[in-house]
Structure 1
């Protein structure tokens, strides 16, 4: 979790080293963003239901789905450039309700994240190929539903500089992180930044043993009420 203060996920800093500076400039042209692309995928693996005592007469979608989950783990590690970012997450696996019946179907909910459109295309292509190969090897059937997710969020230079200067005035330079790390979280504010220039930034809720030192989407998250004044003052002239 971030310490109390302000973090503005902005652009790569230039390095004094020429080769590093060239690499950073290349990244700035394509991947300077706070959050990543996130399409979601729903996959249905199915055959027909059968009593558990007659496994040999059907195709178990739980076994097929489990094989798919394991095979998907190789996409990022073996197909994506290690200098790029990519994530394939199986967040839900639903199949059956009884321990003595082979279910008819299994549903896998998958999230794919990247910063680069090229990597996103690669992930989708490899995911479809891996699923098709696994399903065919078991003699099963599968359908894939792909839903386009959020675009890459990119802060504009001038607005980021303006937001940073205001943060300096409120909490001081020592409590402002000018260059936040690239993230693979998705954010719908990316749609706004596609239409108008702006800056998306974070207000730290606490770190270490401080109050509120817990990531969001966590059952132990507790908003740090002392930050209300900091957040409100940011918008006061």
Structure 2
């Protein structure tokens, strides 16, 4: 992809009688969830939250996350805790000026984290 961007930039510049220099700085690594960890998480979330509320196989996002560095070294998976109130059709993202944390999500988030820790700890003990 980087080479294609460089090539297109140079060709576009040439059409207009100019030169183009492209420098692409590598950023965060791609965050890839560990397959087996994700399967365990999906089971936990189904057990705690239930089918309709669990959104598995979320489409890829173009954001970046520090957790990607951990996931390169050890098996892991990244997940989102949805906090939009059920009656809301849309909800401001966490960096939006109108964002308001839904306190009702805290209980589910704590329960999920505790159960994830408990089940993974039992797997490591085998």
Root-mean-square deviation over aligned CA pairs:
2.7
> What TM-score do the two structures reach when normalised by structure 2?
0.70
Question: Residues 91-110 of structure 1 correspond to what in structure 2 (within 5 A)?
Answer: none
The 5 A counterparts of 1:71-82 are: none
Alignment of 1:186 with 2:61, yes or no, is no
Q: Distance in 2 between matches of 1:197 and 1:220?
A: 36
C-alpha distance in structure 2 between counterparts of 1:207 and 1:228, whole Å: 12
Q: TM-score, normalised by structure 1?
A: 0.41
Q: Sort the Cα spacing of 1:133 and 1:224 in 2 relative to 1 into closer, same or farther, 3 A.
A: same
Q: Size of the alignment, in residue pairs?
A: 115
1:231 alignment counterpart: 109
Instruction: Tell me, yes or no, if the aligned pair for 1:155 and 1:199 is still in contact at 8 Å.
Output: yes
Provide the residue aligned with 2:12 in structure 1: 134
Q: CA deviation at 1:170?
A: 2.5
Any residues of structure 2 matched to 1:156-235 within 5 Å, and which? 156-206=34-84, 209-210=87-88, 213-235=91-113
Gaps of 5+ in 2: 119-126
- C-alpha distance in 2 between matches for 1:211 and 1:221: 14
Higher Cα Rg, which structure: 1
RCO greater where, 1 or 2, for CA within 8 Å and sep 6 or more? Answer: 1
What secondary structure does 2:77 align onto?
A: coil
Mapped partners of 1:208, 1:133: distance in 2: 50
Q: Give the structure with the higher percent helix.
A: 2
Closer/same/farther in 2, CA of residues 134 and 158 from structure 1, 3 Å limit? closer
Alpha carbons of structure 1 residues 226 and 125: separation in structure 2 relative to 1, 3 Å: same
Deviation at 1:182, TM superposition (A): 3.1
**2:28–2:68: 8 Å Cα contact kept in structure 1?**
yes
Distance 2:86 2:106 in 1: 20
Distance 1:136 1:158, change over 3 A: closer
* C-alpha deviation, 1:196, in angstroms: 0.5
Structure 1 gap ranges (5+): 1-122
